[in-house]
Amino acid sequence: MQTSQEVAARHETSKLSPFIARALAAQADGVVPPLLARLGIRSELLTQEIEKEIGKLPKVQGFAQQHMARR
């Protein structure tokens, strides 16, 4: 969660959800990559797709309260 907050701040956005998804998918020793593999989803491809979506997020200037997106 902390890493997601830091990365979201670097990307100048207040939405955390995509960053949490990215962190979980990319976590080498976590439980998510093996689950994705069992579903036939390559975690590196999912991470790339999440990165594309992160690039589309609106930017905020100055300090903004970070929050989970409604989705």
**pTM score, whole prediction:** 0.65
Say which amino acid occupies 57. L
Q: Does residue 67 have a pLDDT over 60?
A: no
Going by pLDDT thresholds of 50, 70 and 90, the confidence category of residue 66 is low
Per-residue model confidence (pLDDT) at position 39: 96
What is residue 44's three-state secondary structure? helix
Q: Does residue 18 have a pLDDT over 60?
A: yes
C-beta of residue 29 within 8 angstroms of C-beta of residue 18: no
